[in-house]
Structure formats: C-alpha cells, structure tokens
Chains A and B, each alone.
Chain A
Amino acid sequence: MDFDLSEDQRLLQDSLSKLLKDKYGFEQRKGYMASETGWSRDVWAAYAELGLLGMPFAEEDGGLGYGAVETMIVTEQMGRALALEPFISTVVLGGGFLRHGATAAQRAAMVPKIAEGKLLLAFAHTEQQSRFDLNDVATTAKKDGADWVIDGRKGVVVHGDTADQLVVTARVSGARRDRDGIAVFLVPADAKGVTRRGFKTSDGQRAADITFDHVKVGAEAELKGGLALVERVVDEAIAALGAEAIGCMEAAKDLTVEYLKTRKQFGRPIGSFQSLQHRAAEMMVCLEQARSMAMLAAMMASETNDAERRRQMRAVKVEIGRNARFVGQQTVQMHGGIAMTMEYAGGHYLKRLTVIENMFGDMDHHLAALSEEGGVFVAA
C-alpha cells in the first residue's frame, strides 16, 4: 500500500503543471474558448511534445506504456487549469477503444498520429432516449456485403465537432436495450453521410450532434468487444474524469480559502467568521474523500474482473459527484456575487464540475445500478 508518486510521475506532474501555468491564465483560456475549435491547437502541440498524447499506448504501438495513475496525474492538472483540449476524448476514450478493441494494424496506423497530436478522436454514443444507459442503442449497423451501413443520430458527442475519427456504437442485432448486439465502429468524421452540428457545452467546451445517414464503412472498421468494450473504456474515462474533478475541486478550494482571507466585510476578513470556516473545512473533507476515490479509480481502471471494476467505478462516480457538487456550490456561495460572473474563475469550476457530474452516469444512475448489483461491499 503506497500512495506516493514515483520520481518520474512527480516529474510528469511538475512539467505539466508548469506548462499549464504558462498557457492557461484566465484571459488565455477565454481566448481559447472563443476560438473556432473552442480549445488551443498550440497547447495540444505542447501536450504532444511533453509525450502526454501517447502516454497510455503500448510502446510497440508507438506509445509510452503508462498506466491509469499517469492518466490521473495528467487529468488532475488539466482540471486545476480548467483545460479545454480533447485529452479525455482523444487519448482516454478514443485511445481506450484502440488499445482494447483495435487490431495491431489499426493501432500502428493511428497511435503514432495521436501521439504526435495529428489525429483527434471522439466517442459518439449517447442518444436522445438513452440517458446514461450504455446498453441503450438505437443507431443501427447493417451488413451490406462485407461492409457495414450505419444509420442513426448521436447527441452530445464531446469534442465531436473537431474529431477526425469517431468511435460509434451501433446495434447489429436485438432490441434497443439488449445488452447483446451492440458493436463499436471507427468512422472517419468526413465519411459520406456523416453530418455534424457543433455546439457549446454549458462549461464552455465543445460537442456535436451527429447524424449518420447510410454511412458505409468496411468490415475492418468494427472494433472487437461490443458492450463489454464500451463499459471498460467508459470506466477508464470515469477514472480520468474523476481525477479531473479533483483538480477542479482543489483549485476551487484554494481560490475560496484565499478569498476568505482577503475579502473584508463588516471590518474583518470573512474567513474569521466561524460559519464560513466550518464550510471551508467541510470543503476540505469533501475534497479528501473525493481524492481517495480518484485513487481507487486509478487502481480499479485496470481491474480485469468486469463486475468488480464496474461496481467500484460506480462508487467512484457517485462519491466524486456528491463531493464535487458541494465544493462547486460552496465556491460560488462563499465568494458571493463575484463568482456568479463569467469574469471570475470560481463559477467556471462549478460549471466544469457539474458537467463532469453528468457525464457517464450521474449519482442516481450509479446508485440505482450499484444497489441492484448488491452494493459496494459484496459478501465474499
């Protein structure tokens, strides 16, 4: 049992932290957000240079062979900075599908490009009716000779507007909510029949609504694994998002505590009021509990027992969501009016934390599923 980072891991943390300090001032971030892509190609190139974009891939595929702990370190720092780039979309989600579902030839073709920052991926799964259920897929893929023809509509495809390749779930057999009969396809974003409408998410990031109208792909576009592959990759994304939430929460807490020390009302710093002190302490309790779960997630991300991994990840998502909500809300409340404005970072943490809370299942979704599955501590 050892919760320390290795020397190399600390180095990774430091160099990314330095990069983000340099590139992610509040005004700089506003500029990236207002740009056409909604994030910074320059910063993306800098990530590539640091080696971040090839991190989780095997060395023989052109990656660094790092694990979930390194991903946690990276997304946590990105959370602190409220970074906008498609790291989770491309490297964690897209990369996860390649690592666990693609052929060696596919990986050889794509991983080096991802690592260089030249290929962007997005995960096109959510549909209007599906809410958070990964098994709820109405989009279809039908055989046409050796090819597949995909029809359907995917909403809220995060970073889907800038992606080069889409990872698309589609039903090849069975009814809409069957666990069996779901397949995963790699679809070029510029394929004939793909229509994308990009939009802003509530936290200022980008997503797309994507229609697939008789989109034809070859047999090799199908990744191996079906729903189990989706669940595995989504669990890795939950771990990465959880760590990002920790970064947000920690930065929000630091900002709030600093404000409590400097903001004066009634002739004294507001941090001298016990009601605010206690709430700041509670924020810290929440942060530490959430951090514990982010560490659990990093450990469980590579768990090969699917049911056990799912169960623990549900717990992770619930607990981080709960604590993120408290920290986000209290950041705004304790700042007062200033954190209600777009011109102050405080409110942006609440926004990002709220988005994270509502990605890949909210608290109620995972609590309900987890209690169906017998809870966290299942009798051995």
Chain B
Amino acid sequence: MELRFTDEERAFRQEVREWIDANLPADTRERMASGRTPTKAMQVDWQRRLYDKGWAVPHWKVEWGGQPWTAIKRFILSEEIQSTPAPTPLGFNCNMLGPVLIAFGTEEQKKFFLPKLASLDLWFCQGFSEPGAGSDLASLKTRAVKEGDHYVVNGQKTWTTLAQHADWIFLLVRTDPGAAKQQEGISFLLVDMKTPGITVRPIITIDGAHEVNEVFFDDVKVPVANLVGTENRGWDCAKFLLSNERTGQARVGASKERIRRLKLIAKEAPGGARPVMEDPRFRSRLTDVEVQLKALEMTTLRVLADENRQLSRGKPNPASSVLKIRGTELQQAISELYVMAAGPYGLAAPNDPEADGRNEPDVAADWQTLAQATYFNWRKQSIYGGSTEIQKNIMAKAFLGL
C-alpha cells in the first residue's frame, strides 16, 4: 500500500497547472471563478485548446486520441482543471458518447465522429429522458420506424441539457414496441439537430436559468447509418454509458475549489459583530463538509487505483457507488454554505438583462446573488444520472444481494 503521489505524478500536476495558467483565457477564468457556467464560446474555445494539447479525452483508446496514462494521471489532470477552475471537457461528448462509439460504433462512425467529439467541433446533447420516463428510463416511448434507409422518429425528450447549443443529439428510441421486456426493442441513434421536424423549447429551472430543454421530434428522418450498435439493443449502449458516469460525478476537485473560495469570501462577508467565517457555528459546518470531502477524495483515489483490476474482474468496486451519492450530497452541502454565508443579501436574484430589458449592476455582490441560484440549481445533482434512491437500489441488489 502506497498512498502518496509519485515524483512523476507530482511533476505532472505542476506541468498541468502551468499549462492551464498559460492557456486559460482571462475572461473564462473570471467567469468560472465567479461560479457561473461557461458560455458556449468559452467552452468551445477551451476544449479546442485541450484537444490540441492532447488532453481533451485522455481516457479514450490511444488510437482515437487518448493517452497511455494511468487512472491516477488522468485524475490529476481532471482535478487541476476543476480546481483552477476551468471548463471541463463536455461530458456528453467525452464521457458519454465517445466511449459508446469506441465500444459499439462502426468504423465510419468512429472516424467521422470521434475527432469532432474530442475537439468539440460537434456539440452533442443527450436524448434519454422523456416526460413520462424519469428514473424508470427504459419506459421511454419515442418511436423510430424504419422506412427504407431511414428511421422516422416521433416523440418527445425532456431535461435535455444545453440542447440550445447542440449540433447533434444521441437518442434512445423505441424500435420494437412489441418486445417482451421494456429494455428490449430500444435503439441508440445519432441525430443532426438541423434535421427538419426537431423543435427545441427551453425549460426554465427554479434558479431562473435556461439550462435544460424539451426536444420534440415530428417525423424526423434519420439515416439508418446513424444507428449505433445493433437495432433493438440500444439498452446495452445506455447501460455502458451510465456505468461510465460515476467517478466523474464525485467532482472532488471542483468542490475543493468551491470551498477554498468560500473560505476567502466568508472571511470578508459581513456577519453582524464579526465576519461570517468567525462564527464558530458556520466554521464548524464548513469544516465538517471538508472532512467528508477528504474522505470522498480518498474514496475516489481508491476507485481509480482499482480501475485496471476492476476491468479484469468485470465487476465494479463497491466504493464506486459511494462517489455519486456522497459526491452530489457534498456539492449540495457546499451550495448551502454559500447561501448561509450570503445571508439576507443572498435574497437578491441575479440581474437578467434579457428579461429585464436593462443592464444595471446587481444590488449585491456576484457571489451573493449566485448563492441561492446555485443552491436551487444543484438540487438536480441527486436526481440526475441515477438518483440517490436509484443508486441505493443498485447497491442493495449488486453488492448486498438484497
């Protein structure tokens, strides 16, 4: 057992840090540091830089642009990106669709899509959820009927994150409604968002942001060549994709950065007789979250260090289930601490120049107006990507045999 980073790993961390410092545009850094999500242009520009450096998709196979790195080295890169903070490579492209195409795609699909996914020349969004299918994903109803060399898609997707930015969508559709089990008869399609018959309608979430959308499909023609894997076996791709999500979801690096910033903010934040940070109740809550985050950091490293053996064993490390559950709980707990630090000035919602028709300075500091918005927004984390309850169902079944 050796729990320290090697000299080489430490040197690599330094290299990454210096490269990010030299390459991250100032406006992107500033926006990220304030706790906002990057604009589309910022995301595209930054991922292009990572791609040119060879760092956008290090976890992919080397022949498709990956790096022959250990899991720990990949972790270091991702942690440094999160803790700067800089935008992380788009998950839909790099962590979801890319690995699915590498595992299930045709040669043509790989050659055409993989470089564009890695460089973000094409922005993909994820068409899984439907209005009637929440955590019970396999109950989806969007239909695709094969007509000659096309599928004709009809139906509706929802919660489609950043569909407003997307060039393409990867889609789960029902191709055989008569299949014996609901997981059967599903197929995985890639669809150009410019195809006639697609309508994107914004959903405004409780934080006031436009992040997710409804996407409607009305007789949308999709070439059969855009089927990934085998027809009616799309669930295999979906399961594969979902099982790849977990280590990323802990987002320890991002949480560490949020805590570091909160400590600086709370030192100045007015708290009546003394700054918020000097209130022992607040500080103790903050420290308690840090302690749990430290444990999660160690758990993440355990899962990563175990990754190679895990593949050969064919079953996941039980510690990996912890990552989604505790990772999201802690991100949410940190967002609560920001709300507490902001206090009454946290009541002020951020200005929305588009809706208000004017652009005035906020009455409160940036972090104060964002505190509650972020808190509201982050309630999503324990719902998406397999809710906490779904994770526990999985654990009870897979690890405890209940």
- List residues of chain B with CB within 8 A of the CB of A299: 3-4
Contact partner, A368, options B284, B293, B325, Cβ 8 Å? B284
- List residues of chain A with CB within 8 A of the CB of B299: 288-289, 292
Chain A residue nearest in CB terms to B389:
A278
What CA separation (Å) do A313 and B256 show in the bound complex? 19
The answer on a CB contact under 8 Å between A367 and B288 is yes
What CA separation (Å) do A371 and B291 show in the bound complex? 10
Chain B residue nearest in CB terms to A314:
B291
The answer on a CB contact under 8 Å between A318 and B291 is yes
Interface residue total, chain B, C-beta cutoff 8 A:
48
The answer on a CB contact under 8 Å between A295 and B294 is no
What CA separation (Å) do A311 and B72 show in the bound complex? 24
Beyond A284-B400, A285-B321, A288-B299, whether A1 also contacts B294 by CB under 8 A is no
The answer on a CB contact under 8 Å between B301 and A289 is no
The answer on a CB contact under 8 Å between B294 and A296 is yes
The answer on a CB contact under 8 Å between B301 and A1 is yes
0/1 per residue, A1-12, Cβ < 8 Å to B?
Answer: 111111001000
Count A-B pairs with CB separation below 8 Å.
Answer: 145
What CA separation (Å) do A280 and B326 show in the bound complex? 15
The answer on a CB contact under 8 Å between B318 and A288 is yes
- List residues of chain B with CB within 8 A of the CB of A370: 287, 290-291
Q: How far is the CB of B33 from chain A (nearest CB, A)?
A: 15
Answer whether residue B57 sits at the interface, using C-beta atoms and an 8 A cutoff. no
Answer whether residue B393 sits at the interface, using C-beta atoms and an 8 A cutoff. yes
The answer on a CB contact under 8 Å between A2 and B2 is yes
- List residues of chain A with CB within 8 A of the CB of B306: 3
- List residues of chain A with CB within 8 A of the CB of B280: 368, 371
Answer whether residue B319 sits at the interface, using C-beta atoms and an 8 A cutoff. yes
- List residues of chain A with CB within 8 A of the CB of B396: 277-278, 280-281
The answer on a CB contact under 8 Å between B1 and A5 is yes
- List residues of chain B with CB within 8 A of the CB of A296: 3, 294-295, 298
- Tell me which of A54-62, A179-187, A372-380 binds B: A372-380
What CA separation (Å) do A277 and B3 show in the bound complex? 33
- List residues of chain A with CB within 8 A of the CB of B103: none
- Which residues of A are at the interface with B, using a C-beta cutoff of 8 A? 1-6, 9, 69, 257, 260-261, 271-272, 274, 276-278, 280-282, 284-285, 288-293, 295-296, 298-299, 312, 315, 318-319, 367-368, 370-371, 375-377, 379
8 A-B residue pairs with CB within 8 Å? A3-B301, A6-B1, A288-B319, A288-B322, A319-B291, A376-B290, A376-B293, A377-B259
The 5 A-B residue pairs with the shortest CB-CB distance in the complex, in nearest-first order = A292-B298, A277-B396, A281-B392, A281-B395, A376-B290
7 more CB-based (< 8 A) A-B contacts, given A1-B5, A278-B396, A298-B1? A1-B2, A4-B1, A281-B400, A293-B295, A312-B294, A315-B295, A376-B294
